[in-house]
Amino acid sequence: MAAEMRLDDFEAFARQVHAALDALNQAREAALTQARQLTRASAYAIRAIHRSESDQADAFLAQARVLAEQLQGLAQTYPQIFYAGYTQDALKEYAEATLTCAIIENRPLPTPEALNLDYAIYLNGLAEVVGELRRRCLDILRQGYSEEAERLLTWMDEIYNLLVTLDYPDALTNNLRRQTDLVRGIVERTRGDLTLSLREERLQQALNRLAQQLPQTSDEPAPDSRL
């Protein structure tokens, strides 16, 4: 279209505006649907991994990956969609599910580049992972102290150690600072739970060793000396 408009050009301009906004509205509706589906698939993947249903988790992650790629494709065509809150939130949930499953299954973490996510979304998803790892630790500790819980706590520590160094404006990190404060509390509570469980485990082991060292007593009555 020409850089300037005359009165005769205004009707054509109106048609152009309607066409552009109709296309954007259709893309927005599609993005909303994909964002809801992506959030749902990510939540199902996390639920499955907590139930030790690895195959189900992988299936939901594969579904989430396709939805994320579709959403990212729309966002490339319409940048307004990418910066909408629902798109950012859905992609964050996708990052959280992918990273949670990788850590619980003891696999290497995919990078932001591998997931085609910017750093702010990836880091906010990583911050959310800490809560899921605490949930996993508590499930493990119900059966007693375990080195697996220690491994997960190590991951929680490393995530917090990264997040606490990212002292950048909230506009760049999508309010990551608030998430970091929450992560610190989660890590400290989990450390306390593991410490208590470890002490109980060691106390039980000490009691068992003591019981083995004590002389065995018989439940049979002593013989009558008058006989």
DSSP 84: S
- Smallest CA-to-CA distance from 122 within 139, 138, 144, 102 is with 102
- The pLDDT value given to residue 2: 59
Give the list of residues 6+ apart from residue 170 with CB closer than 8 angstroms, or none.
Answer: 176, 177
What are the chain's domains?
24-112 (1.20.58.2140), 118-211 (1.20.58.2140)
Query: Which pTM does this prediction carry?
Result: 0.82
Residue 199 confidence (pLDDT): 62
- Identify the pLDDT of residue 75: 79
Please list the rounded mean pLDDT of every run of 10 residues in the chain (227 residues).
73 88 86 93 97 96 96 83 84 97 96 95 97 95 85 96 94 91 95 77 62 65 51
H-only helix segments in the chain? 10-50, 54-77, 79-82, 85-104, 112-115, 119-141, 147-163, 170-173, 176-213
Identify the pLDDT of residue 90: 95
CA within 13 Å, CB half, 184: 10
